[in-house]
Homo-oligomer: A and B are copies of this chain.
Amino acid sequence: MVKFPTQVMRCAAAVDLVILTIREGALHVLLVQRKEAPFLRKWALPGGFVREGEGLERAARRELAEETGIEAEFYLEQLQTYGEPKRDPRGRVLSVAYLALAPGLPTPTAGGDAHAAAWVMVTELEAHPLAFDHAQIVRDGIERARAKLEYTTLATAFCHDRFTIPELRGVYECVWGTELDPANFYRKVTRSPGFVEELDSYQRGGEGRPARLYRKGAASHLNPPINRTV
């Protein structure tokens, strides 16, 4: 059996999750309070060590289910890997960060692993000093999400099965922190082939004219993109 050269460095492998969702009209990220040293009681991203024989994405999905307590189909993509030698005082750790997007989750999620978990508005992240290099990871995750809304149909990952165009516009507005023209947004979304599929039902109960319901379409890319430079 072939072996590694004996001097090869070994390190621990972790996955960390930037889980974004929209609650009460604002972009939130899930944070957990550490119950172990180092950084005891500090806020951190949910995550954990990769297990023997477990793939990276599988580890990420396991942590996702554990920490949110929800067995749903999240959108999940690998973000980046952080491996500075000193990023963890316990020793060398490679952290493979994942970005997860979720529609507004029902419970505030008291995690299965008995952490204190909380949704924190991304505008209030400065008030939550994060452990390790997690502040950087969160910034990278948010920026990735913001960028991808431009040229992909990813905004639908923040919506439930059925949603209205104004709800979808709200996703863009929350994530980008801007306001979009309702009329132009409507035209753009409905005329981008495969972005959304029209349904026969309407959203009732709100003020004003009821909005037609849509579900996500088959397209994943958006060409031409939606501009956030306004």
Contacts and interface: CB of A to CB of B under 8 A. Distances in A.
Interface of A: 2-5, 8-13, 37-38, 49-56, 78, 80-81, 83-85, 89-92, 94, 96, 151, 223-225, 227, 229
Contacts of A9: 12-13, 49-52
A225 B78 CA distance: 24
Contacts of A52: 9, 85, 92
A83 to B, nearest CB: 4
A173 B78 CA distance: 29
A182 B13 CA distance: 49
A91 B13 contact: no
Contacts of A78: 80-81
A80 B229 CA distance: 28
Given A2-B90, A38-B2, A94-B94, A50 B223 contact: no
Number of copies: 2
5 contacts: A2-B89, A13-B92, A52-B92, A81-B94, A223-B227
A3 B37 CA distance: 9
A12 B229 CA distance: 43
A52 B51 CA distance: 22
Contact of A50 (B38, B80, B83): B83
A12 B10 CA distance: 5
A54 B84 CA distance: 8
Nearest to A84: B55
Given A2-B90, A12-B8, A12-B10, A96 B81 contact: yes
Nearest to A96: B81
